[in-house]
A and B are shown apart, each in its own frame.
Chain A
Amino acid sequence: MTSLLQARGIEVRYGESEAVRGLSLAVGPGQIVTVLGPNGAGKTSLLKALMGALPCRGEIRFDGEPIHRLSLEERAEIGLSLVPEERALFGEMSVADNLELGGFLRRHEDARTRREAREEIYRLFPRLRERAGQLASTLSGGERQMLALGRALLARPRLLMLDEPSLGLAPRIVREILDAIAGLRDRGMSLLLVEQNARAALRIADYGYVIERGAVAMEGSAADLRDNPAVAATYLGGSAAG
């Protein structure tokens, strides 16, 4: 299988300390790959490095092409997208404007296609339609997450990276959002999902990596990881890692 995203030996440093240490992973087309691990394991740094928001060392290939020298915006142009943990919405703009800017890279397409794409997001998250005229800063946590996801989807990325989509959300909304994510895979999109809600992530993922202290500690199919007691131990501490 050829991978859509292939990363080898990724290293991210903050001054003297290393957040990610020689990490390698791959995401195949139409796959949901999840990256699990305790807080501070380097998951967020990894996503930001892949997106080009943090400088890193190592090799990153997208669709076989090296993308290491591309800027964040250029990576967005070739089909990578990231929904960061802090969501980075345009708080003082309406939901509709946020979505319109989500389609910034599709600005050369005709107006009808773009409107149709926005309609699709409203069908996916009907609550956003109700809030279309509201400022993004007035949304609840779940609605923000939907808006961030919708904004990212409007660029029609080939690889969507999500950082903790369930963070701070009530279980019912987590379910709603994860179902939407699973639906995207079924339409051929590839996803890289960073989650601390391990059970929820492994429920929808095809493949998973467990990382600890910036390196891969374990990897395997989602089904294998679900049943592996060592995964639980990573989260609760006091395991073999000691």
Chain B
Amino acid sequence: MSARRLFLAGLVLALALAPLVLPPQFVTALTYIGLNGLVCIGLVLLTGVAGMTSFGQAAFCGVAAYATALLTVGQGWSPLASLPVSVAATALVALALGALTVRLAGHYLVLGTLAWGMAVFFLFGNLPGLGGFNGITGLPAIAIGGVAFTDPRLVHVLVWAAVALAMAMASNLLDSRVGRAMRSLPAEIMAESLGVPTARLRVAVFCIAAILAAVAGWLQAHYVRVVNPSPFGVNASVDYLFMVVIGGTGQLGGALLGSAVFEAIRTALRDVLPHLFGRSGSYEMAAFGILVVLLLNTTGGGMMPYLSRILPKPAPVRAPGSAGPLPRRERAQPGQALLEVRGAVKRFGGLVAVNEVSFEIRTGEILGLIGPNGAGKSTLFDLLTGVQPATAGEIRLEGRRIDGASPRAIAGAGVARTFQHVLLRPEMSVLENAALGAHGRGEAGILRSALRLDRAEEARILFEAQRQLDRVGLGEFAAQAAGHLALGQQRILEIARALASDPKLLLLDEPAAGLRHHEKARLSALLRELRDEGVTILLVEHDMDFVMNLVDRLVVVDFGTKIAEGTPASVRGDPRVIEAYLGGAEA
């Protein structure tokens, strides 16, 4: 048993035994830490993992709490029977709200959830049948198999069992195909180009966070046996956000740490401040505000990073020694036209960035697309990868039109790309970054991953990722954080990630930019090897040295127009190319 598992087991045991030892007010505090922690786990997934945030978590708790109150008090349901209905109702609301706002830039989500939180709070207080601001009383206690959870100590155990389950499922989820995709969400362009449906996944994360809040709301409703609007206002939502900011949004543990620290400080302030100021008022608001400002001013990462330093570390993700194959794409014969560009045009207002450019890429070759700065190379690259739609012209992959298709669809069709400014998830391991490339070759969903039913497929994905890392020579760095690699290695990691998608065509955007001499030589050798193994490569590059000795054919563009095409030797002697590179303003 690893040190970490031992620590976790000890933690669980201590929490289970706590009610037998601790005085009641501590048990109550611990129960609330658990309830809040449950909500915070969702917020960490939302804020720390997916880069979104919400001021509506307390409102989600409230929806579930009121739902179960109506069903149990009004309809006589048992709490257990009302759990799935209450949670489903909350999830539906979250789905609608998420679909409305999640696509928009961060601020709209913030304001949308704020407005929703406010609106719901006033609805709770004013809708007929909800008991106004006094709420609904007389909720039954939870009963499971004849055991009624009326004793607060039993509720404590139940709450923490739910927390443990949520933590286990959340960490399973993060360590899976979907989890990697979630962690890639803050880099939207990268995620889409790897085939991740970012909008849908965002809504999904939003719903997961709402479901965790709903479970907390349900537990709390049957714990205090009363439901009224006050714990579900925007202030409570802000408290949850403060908890995760204090704990740290980078790790799941931050959710529980933040919840615990928040509760401890709140209790301390309530006891101490009146003595200091000789007046009982809630100074805690101001004190919490100052604390959060100080924490964000100094670290920004919350307190969890400090705690992690002394806790046993989790084992890094490793690929299995062997695993079955992932599905592969069918491939055309070498020499056939793979990608055809016919009369591609891109206009920005009056400016023609790409003007009637036509060329083709044949299976099994390395084609270089070069031109001076501002010639339209990057725009052309954007057209090929679907980042921008062409104004006119056709782009076909194996005869099928891909112009106008989204980056995700083009990735799905078998075109993998790298980025001029390296786009990796620096905090994820090299292996996990490579595994992101194979996202489109797996299908395990959120539930399968959270329940650990995805292991066979996960093994195949990790095995494939490791295979590609070995292929490009990064195998030994698999467990390192990708951010710790040198830039040259990061570029090669991007290539490994692209290869993991089993692409028909590999598009490289200025792969040599910023590399040192020996790094370029290594990259050049790697690309040649890949070509010999049958990979088709298009590279956009301005480093002539690098291109000349590498590619089979070259296409040269200037002022958005193709000015030359052919072998490196023929292009180098072309007077129009020399003119384009050295400038012709002498005349």
Contacts and interface: CB of A to CB of B under 8 A. Distances in A.
B351 to A, nearest CB: 7
A218 interface: no
A30 interface: no
Contacts of A198: 582-583
A87 to B, nearest CB: 12
Q: Which of B372, B559, B583, B587 has the most CB of A within 10 A?
A: B583
Given A40-B513, A196-B372, A237 B486 contact: no
B548 A238 contact: yes
B585 A236 contact: no
Q: Which of B512, B544, B577, B587 has the most CB of A within 10 A?
A: B544
A171 B514 CA distance: 30
A140 B351 CA distance: 8
A106 interface: no
Interface string B506-523: 000010111111000000
A232 B572 CA distance: 12
A237 B545 contact: yes
A221 to B, nearest CB: 18
A237 B544 contact: yes
A178 B516 CA distance: 33
Nearest to B512: A40
B374 interface: yes
Contact of A200 (B485, B544, B585): B585
B514 A166 contact: no
A16 interface: yes
A203 to B, nearest CB: 6
Contacts of A164: 373-374
A93 B344 CA distance: 33
Interface in B92-111: none
A40 B514 contact: yes
B572 A39 contact: no
A176 to B, nearest CB: 10
Contact of A199 (B374, B543, B577, B582): B582
A84 to B, nearest CB: 14
Interface string A157-170: 00000001011100
Contacts of B373: 39, 164, 167, 196
A236 B572 contact: yes
B585 A237 contact: no
A133 to B, nearest CB: 19
Interface in B530-587: 542-549, 559, 572, 577-578, 581-587
B487 A236 contact: no
A168 B379 CA distance: 13
Contact of A213 (B488, B517, B581): B517
Contact of A232 (B512, B543, B545, B582): B582
A171 B577 CA distance: 16
Interface in B330-381: 350-351, 372-374
A167 B374 contact: yes
B583 A19 contact: no
Contacts of A167: 373-374
A174 B543 contact: no
A166 B585 contact: yes
Contacts of B547: 237
A203 B485 CA distance: 43
Contacts of A200: 583, 585-586
A166 B585 CA distance: 10
B514 A17 contact: yes
Contact of A16 (B487, B513, B517, B587): B487
Contact of A236 (B512, B514, B578): B578
Interface in A93-151: 140-141
Given A167-B374, A203-B586, A241-B545, A16 B581 contact: no
Contacts of A166: 583, 585
Judged by DSSP, the binding face of B is loop
Nearest to A203: B586
A40 B372 CA distance: 11
Contacts of B372: 39, 196
Contacts of B486: 16-17
Nearest to A177: B585
Contacts of A141: 351
A40 B542 contact: yes
Q: Which of B350, B542, B545, B549 has the most CB of A within 10 A?
A: B545
A185 to B, nearest CB: 17
A167 B581 CA distance: 12
B487 A17 contact: yes
Interface in B458-504: 485-488, 490
Given A17-B514, A141-B351, A196-B373, A38 B543 contact: yes
A199 B586 contact: yes
Contacts of B583: 166, 195-201
Given A39-B372, A39-B373, A167-B374, A237 B586 contact: no
Nearest to B486: A16
A184 B487 CA distance: 41
A238 B585 contact: no
Contacts of A39: 372-373, 542-543
Q: Which of A38, A166, A178 has the most CB of B within 10 A?
A: A38
Contact of B544 (A38, A168, A196): A38
A158 to B, nearest CB: 27
Nearest to B488: A17
Contacts of B582: 197-199, 232, 235-236
A232 B490 CA distance: 32
A239 B374 CA distance: 24
Contacts of B559: 168
B581 A235 contact: yes
Contacts of A40: 510, 512-514, 542-543
Given A39-B372, A40-B513, A164-B373, A197 B545 contact: no
Given A39-B542, A197-B583, A200-B586, A238 B374 contact: no
A213 B518 CA distance: 12
B376 to A, nearest CB: 9
Nearest to A175: B585
B546 to A, nearest CB: 8
Q: Which of B517, B546, B582 has the most CB of A within 10 A?
A: B582
A38 B542 contact: yes
A167 B583 CA distance: 11
Q: Which of B374, B543, B578 has the most CB of A within 10 A?
A: B374
B587 A171 contact: yes
Nearest to A15: B487
A235 B585 CA distance: 16
Contact of B584 (A17, A38, A199): A199
Given A40-B542, A237-B548, A168 B374 contact: yes
10 contacts: A38-B542, A140-B351, A168-B559, A196-B581, A197-B582, A198-B583, A201-B583, A213-B517, A237-B547, A237-B572
The 3 closest A-B pairs by CB, nearest first: A237-B544, A197-B583, A200-B585
Interface of B: 350-351, 372-374, 485-488, 490, 510, 512-517, 542-549, 559, 572, 577-578, 581-587
Interface of A: 14-17, 19, 38-40, 140-141, 164, 166-168, 171, 174-175, 178, 195-201, 203, 213, 232, 235-239, 241-242
Given A199-B582, A236-B582, 12 more contacts: A19-B514, A39-B542, A39-B543, A171-B584, A171-B585, A198-B583, A235-B582, A236-B581, A237-B547, A237-B548, A237-B572, A241-B545
